[in-house]
Structure formats: structure tokens, C-alpha cells
Amino acid sequence: MTLAIDWVLLLPALLPAAAMLLVLLVDAAVPGARRVMAVVAALGLAAGAATAVPGILAADERLTLCTAAPDGRCLWDGGPLPSTLQAGILLATLAVLALVSVRRVGVVDLTLLLASAAGGTAVVASRDLGTWLVTLELATLPVIALVAWRDRRAATHGALTLLTTSLVSFGLLVLGAALWVLGTGDPTLTGESLAAAWAAPERRPVLTLAAVVLVAGLAFKLSAVPFHAWTPPTLTAGPLPVAALLASASKLAAVGALVVVLAPWESVVGANPGPHALVSVLVGLTVASMLVGTVMALRQTEVVRLLAWSTVAQAGWVVLPLTALSAAGRGAAVAYTIVYAVAALVAFAAVRATHGPRVEDHRDLTAYRGILRRDPVAGGTLALALLVLAGLPPGVIGLVAKVVALGPPVAAGLWPVAVVAVIAAVLGIAVYVRWFAVLFGRPDDASAPVRPRRRRASVAVAVVGTAVIVVLSVLPQLLLGPLA
């Protein structure tokens, strides 16, 4: 069997993997050269993101790993949507790398970060179940190791929670993949094979069960209710940079994996009967995640735990446009996730710039009273990130992302879930405005945190992320255009 390969389309995944090998070689040749290894890792991530840009701007399909006709299949998609996700994953990982202190970073940290980035960029572009499963776990397992990579019982507990969740998730994904092959007879995730199988009534229950099981497996990775229990303990137990990675690059990879699973179902939306059971499951995930995540976030006073529950609520907004099972819904979900990932990175970077990297230094909301006066840069960037998450001006891109996310389900006639989303958005404002208001309070010297000595990288990440938010707020088409 011949296989046509366009190596350029594979570069976003290959370059981080190549950088990982170079880091190992540098460590073997010059042990302890941490700065050199960090530079190699950063260059690999930046170069990978740069090679994804042509795919973002492409007007035509960019497929590779294609088998020969007449039954040809293309196993890799380098089009605008996967390329946008790849660039987002690599740049988010680069930001997390910047948050890690060079004095503390080692070869293990760098290789795990690069391995996770390579897996994430591959899973969003893969279209065959074998590659999809392997790369999805490659994006997940290194993050578990990063959570545990510190000598603390809480971190070990958080990593064990995430590992257990990941094993259950992987079991569901393997089962779902087997059911898909059983129902379609095709190991690739394509609309053509699904439409042909859906025409046979006896295959529809198997296909529906396959989709539901696959969605359930991915819901763990998205932190969607009721598969969210690992999120608060893991994010609060691990180092802040790893929490930022889980809230940004890992979420982008999970959304990309979900998009790959749901894309074929657009081919049977107009069929009689349609995939109503799958839509119902997606609606249930959306409503439960929005309401539970928002209500629980309202009860939190510890900032990282608040951000963790915010991640659960935001998962509902990510799934919301996907309920339409349309191309517009997939683009809206990706756009929303990118906006959330940028805002989350800014928030975590600002917290780290204020309190430092140690979990023990995470403070109550009251510790942020008057931070805009004490530390205008960290406080200002944090304030804008909170407004984006709330969908309030001047964080305009947050509001635009929410409106865009509401469009596909409304167009598909799913008005009830859109109404619930609006109610959740109103409740969500209170979550972030409560923290936002504290930033303007009168400083309390007794509870004021000691500014960490090494915080330039954290401030830089917060400032760059804020610049991205401002540019997207002024010109939202820079993000929405390629995904339309």
C-alpha cells in the first residue's frame, strides 16, 4: 500500500518531538546546561507554531498521509481548524515553559512538556483511530508526571487522581473506538463511512453508543460534569505552571480530539432519524458543566480552586456550540477555547507574579485587595483576564466568543440550551466580578503578599497574553475569520 506524505504538514508535531530529542542529547553531552536545553525547547515550540501558520491561512484542504485510490483515506488534516489548534497548543506550552524557573527546570520537565505538546498537535490533526488514541494519551500522560514531579503529598494525590481518571477515560475511548469500527467497518473517522453505515437501521444503535462512549471518555479531559472530579484537587495540588498547562494547552488538545470525533456526524444531521441521542448527551454535558461549575466557583475563596471550578464551567461553553453538530459549531468551539486558554494563562501568570510558584503561597481572595495599587502590572493584567472570562468590556473578545458560541445551537433550534447558557453567563459574572472588585480595594499591608524575587517571566507572559486579548478584542476577525 502506497502512502503519500507531505512532510511540511507534519512539522507542527515533528518539531516539538525533534526538540525533545535534542534536549536529551544536550543533557547527555553537557549535563546541567539548563539554559541551553530551555532555549532548544523554546525554539522547537516556536518553530512548530510558525509552521502551522500556512495551514491557518489556507483556503483549500491540506491533507496528507493519504492512501491510494480507489479506497483512499487521508489520515492527517492540516487545514485551518487543526492548524489553529496546533499553534494554540504550542504557544500555550511555550508560555508555560516561560513560567517555569530556569533555575528549577530540568531535562525531565522539558521532555515532558515537549512530549505533551507533540501529542496535542498530533491528535487534533489525526483522522485514524490508532494515531488518535496514541497521541491523545501522549498529550495526557506527561502532564500527570509533571503534576507529581515534586516532593509533596498533595501533589502526589493530585497526580494519582488525574492518573486514575485518565485510565478510566482511556478505557472508554478504546471501547468507543472498537464500537466505531464495529459499526462502520472503517478505522478512520470520516463522514462518508458514517453516512453509509447510518443507512442500515441495525447499525445505528452501535454507532450512537460508540459516539456517546467516546464523548464520555473525552469529557474527563475537558473537565465536563459529571466527569470533572479530578480538576479542583489536581490544579490546586500541582505547581502553578502545570495548572496553567492543564487549563490551556491540555484543554485545546481535548477540544481538538472531540472535534475530530464529532465532525463525521454532520453527514447524518439531516437524516431521518438523526443522531438525537448524541445531541441529548452533548446538551446534558453543557447544562451540567455550566451550572455546577458556576455555582461551585461562586463558593470558592481560594484563587486557584476558583480558577479550577471556572475551568469546569468553561467546559460547558466549549461543548455548547458542538451540540449543533455543524462546521460552524466546531469553529465556534475552537475559537472559544482559544480565548479561554489565553485568559487562563494570563490569570495564572498574574497569580504567579504575585505569589510565586509554590502551592503553599496561594492565597485567599482577600490577599488581592488593592493589588492594582500595589502592583499595577500584575493587577491590571489579572483584571482584564477576569473581565474576558466574565464576558464584560473591555474584555470584548470574551463577550464575542460567548455570542459566537450561542449561534450554532440557536441556528439548530436548540433554544432551551441557549437560554440556560445565558442564565449561566449572568451567574458567571458574579464569579469574576467578586474577585475583580477586590483588586480595587484599599491595600491591607498585613495580608499583602511578598512579591517574588524572580517574576520577570511571569510578568512577561501576563503582558504578552494581555496584548493578545487587546488585539483580538479590537480585531476579533483575526481569530474568527480562519475558523468561519
pLDDT tens digits for 469-478? 999 999 999 9
| More confident site: 154 or 265 | 265
Q: What is the mean pLDDT of residues 1-9?
A: 81
Sheet with 63-67, strands from edge to edge, namely 3-4, 63-67, 74-77
- Whole-number Å distance between alpha carbons of 258 and 281: 13
pLDDT digits (tens, 9 = 90+) for 13-46: 999 999 999 999 999 998 878 889 999 999 999 9
- 198, 273 Cβ separation under 8 angstroms: no
| pLDDT given at position 359 | 43
- Whole-number Å distance between alpha carbons of 108 and 114: 10
- Whole-number Å distance between alpha carbons of 187 and 306: 41
- Look up residue 150 and give its amino acid: R
pLDDT digits (tens, 9 = 90+) for 59-106: 778 888 888 776 778 889 999 999 999 999 999 999 999 988 766 678
| pLDDT given at position 356 | 58
pLDDT digits (tens, 9 = 90+) for 105-132: 788 889 999 999 999 999 999 999 999 9
Q: Which three cell numbers stand for residue 207?
A: 454507532
Asked if residue 260 has pLDDT above 60, the reply is yes
Asked if residue 179 has pLDDT above 80, the reply is yes
Asked if residue 181 has pLDDT above 90, the reply is yes
Q: What is the mean pLDDT of residues 154-181?
A: 88
The pLDDT > 70 percentage for the chain reads: 93
Q: What is the pTM of this model?
A: 0.94
Q: What is the mean pLDDT of residues 248-270?
A: 94
Q: Which three cell numbers stand for residue 182?
A: 464495529
Asked if residue 305 has pLDDT above 70, the reply is yes
Confidence of residue 445 (pLDDT cuts 50, 70, 90): low
| pLDDT given at position 474 | 93
| More confident site: 365 or 195 | 195
End-to-end distance of the chain based on CA atoms, in angstroms? 36
| More confident site: 150 or 90 | 90
Asked if residue 449 has pLDDT above 60, the reply is no
Q: Which three cell numbers stand for residue 411?
A: 441556528
- CA gyration radius, the chain: 22
Residue 368's SS3 state is helix
pLDDT digits (tens, 9 = 90+) for 376-434: 898 999 999 999 999 998 889 999 999 999 999 999 999 999 999 999 999 999 999 99
| More confident site: 349 or 443 | 349
DSSP annotation of 281: H
| More confident site: 161 or 217 | 217
Asked if residue 358 has pLDDT above 60, the reply is no
Asked if residue 278 has pLDDT above 80, the reply is yes
Residues 6+ apart with CB under 8 A from 291: 316, 420, 424
| pLDDT given at position 367 | 81
| pLDDT given at position 354 | 84
How many other C-beta atoms lie within 10 A of the C-beta of residue 195? Answer: 16
Asked if residue 350 has pLDDT above 50, the reply is yes
What is the chain's mean pLDDT, rounded?
Answer: 89
Asked if residue 149 has pLDDT above 80, the reply is no
| More confident site: 285 or 73 | 285
Q: Which three cell numbers stand for residue 215?
A: 464523548
Q: What is the mean pLDDT of residues 251-258?
A: 96
